[in-house]
Amino acid sequence: MPIKTLIAACALLVWLPVAVLAQDTSVFEVDTLNEGLPPPPDRLDRSTPQSSMEALFELIEAHEYETAAHLLNLVDVPPEEQVERGARLAADLVEVLDRIAVINWTALLERPDALDANASAESPVAGQPQRSILIDVVELGNRAVAIRLNRLKPGDADPVWVFSRQTVANIPALHAIYGPTRFEEEMPEAWREHAFWGLRWWELVAFPAMLLLVGAAGWTTGRLQAALASRAKGRLVTDFLRATRMPIILAICSGLTAVLSHSLFMFSGRINSVLVPLIALGFTAAALIFVMNGIDAVLNRVVPFDDDTLSEPRMENRRNLATRIAAWRRVLIIAIVLIGGAIVLAEAQFFGSLGLSILASAGALTLLIGFAARHILGNILASLQIAMNRSAKIGDKLEFRGHIVTVERINFTYVQLLDWTGVRLIVPVSEFVAEPFENWTMRTPSMIRTIKIKLAHDAEVQPLRDAFFEIIDDQDPDEVQARDQHFVMVADQDVFGQEVWFCLACAKADTAWTLSCQVREALLERARARAADGYAVFPQVNPAEAA
């Protein structure tokens, strides 16, 4: 290799790092800036992001539109049109910012390099100068566009903060969507003036009027559906109207609010930042209630809660189906809540506008919510656990805490049990799965009920055994098992007498308790009749001794 070539290569290797270090990365260097505009006045301060944003609003409010054009990068506008189009674009940009954004002024630092000395170490811009600041991200058709301030250095002039060329290019389309509606343009000029808190006078009247109109529409819809439900003849139509009443009311109110706030009224950013998430929340709530009411209506048709035969073997498939439907109901509710919550948070741009960094506080917020909702989350998981392992199905007959109950509902946080007396027990799911209970219909509905009777030491058991089988022969064959399944045993004895167990083999768990009560009553009648004939039957003790 020639010596001159080697020296040139070494010099290049030395010069490249120096050139990179010498390049100023805190600005966008341009040859010229808005050469079609007259020189900016000396009072126009564009040295910091905050001063440029303040100047834009102050100049437009003072109707100095041509001066405000200096705050835009008009590189894509022909020089001969920059004065006229720049003034109009600046005014349109202010209207767009007024209506779709609540500007986070704390992010617009009063420093030329926009260096945030208070940024956390995890921030990507911590300790670094910035040359582009994101003001907001807004929807433009089917895509999202950014509104940005960029720091430009035209030639040898001082750097200035102006709105980026991409933002300027999107202003006409954004103004067509978010600018004043035709209804607003027909209002008197005085009504369109600013009142307070960034709101215009017409908004102070139109916003409450819109809420009253939406409320009236919801009330009318509810009354109309109630009238239709009262006149409907078929149960299916009646159930449908009742199940869809609240979802339709919420959907109509949310839809009407969305239409009015985007076509007839285009409110300021402070109102829109609340309306947009509320509209999303309304649609989410409508979908959630529709799913809940719809599945509950199906569940009420699948499971005949007023039918005493639900615990019978032939109803096993129906109990399984009802439990699966209830489980899917809970899964759908969780999915809708998560998806709807994500939509609401995505639409709620005021989180970023008010300076609340969700990402920065996600860890602490998660811990706080998890601690506050640990019992609720535990109950939800326990309810899904019951549905998956089928330890208790809807319609099952149980003995729980001494109560003979039927499972009516398995909800997120509690299990609804119907006692044989008609009283409903509400048990938290976590307690229900933590305590043992007897499931009389889990495998087969047949079961043995034990009737315990204390007899005297010298009482004969065989006559009562014969009476027991005679009583069984008189029962409904569908209620008891085969004769050889029943038996009588002397299970215990003490100083007072002998304890005899009359074991009744019941065919149905649903009627086993009632049947055992009837058989006990008949046995006692036979025992009293035998005692009246002079035979020893019951122990001769007084209550104090028995205690």
Q: Quick check: 372 pLDDT over 90?
A: no
pLDDT score, position 21: 39
Distance between CA atoms of 201 and 194, rounded to whole angstroms? 6
The burial of 69, by beta-carbon neighbours within 10 Å (0-12 exposed, 13-18 middle, 19 or more buried), is given as buried
Please give the mean pLDDT across all residues of the chain: 78
CB neighbour burial string for 47-57, b if at least 16 within 10 angstroms, e if fewer? bbbbbbbebbe
Torsion of CA 337, 339, 343, 348, to 10 degrees: 40
Higher-confidence position of 64 and 239: 64
Q: Which amino acid, one-letter code, is at 358?
A: I
pLDDT score, position 370: 62
Contacts of 442 (CB under 8 A, 6+ apart): 391, 396
Judged by average pLDDT, the poorest of 76-85, 313-322, 446-455 is 313-322
Using DSSP's 3-state secondary structure scheme, residue 144 falls into strand
Q: Kindly give the residue spans of alpha helices, DSSP state H, lying in 348-451.
A: 350-353, 362-372, 374-389, 429-434
pLDDT in tens, 103-113: 777 778 888 88
- As a whole number, mean pLDDT of residues 23-28 equals 69
pLDDT score, position 365: 53
Q: Quick check: 409 pLDDT over 60?
A: yes
Cβ atoms 308, 513 nearer than 8 A: no
- The strand pairing partners of 452, in sequence order, are 501
Which of the four pLDDT bands, split at 50, 70 and 90, describes residue 455? very high
Ranked by mean pLDDT, which of 154-158, 330-334, 410-414 comes out on top? 154-158
pLDDT score, position 364: 54
Cβ atoms 414, 392 nearer than 8 A: no
pLDDT score, position 317: 67
pLDDT in tens, 238-289: 777 777 888 899 889 988 888 887 777 777 666 777 777 788 888 888 888 8
All domains in the chain, ordered by first residue: 28-179 (no CATH), 201-439 (no CATH), 447-546 (3.30.70.100)
Q: Kindly give the residue spans of alpha helices, DSSP state H, lying in 179-315.
A: 182-185, 201-231, 235-259, 269-302
What Cα–Cα distance (Å) separates residue 9 from each residue in 16, 20, 21, 71, 385?
11, 17, 19, 45, 72
Judged by average pLDDT, the poorest of 246-255, 289-298, 413-422, 520-529 is 289-298
Q: Quick check: 101 pLDDT over 80?
A: no
Element at 418 (helix H, strand E): strand 414-419
> % helix / strand / coil in the chain, to the nearest 5?
55, 15, 30
pLDDT score, position 277: 77
Higher-confidence position of 499 and 228: 499
pLDDT score, position 421: 81
Cβ atoms 102, 269 nearer than 8 A: yes
Q: In terms of Cα–Cα distance, which of 79, 34, 171, 353 is closest to 44?
A: 34
What is the CB neighbour count within 10 angstroms for residue 132? Answer: 14
pLDDT score, position 452: 93
Tokens (6 digits) for 297: 């209506």
**Percentage of the chain surpassing pLDDT 70?**
75
Higher-confidence position of 272 and 315: 272
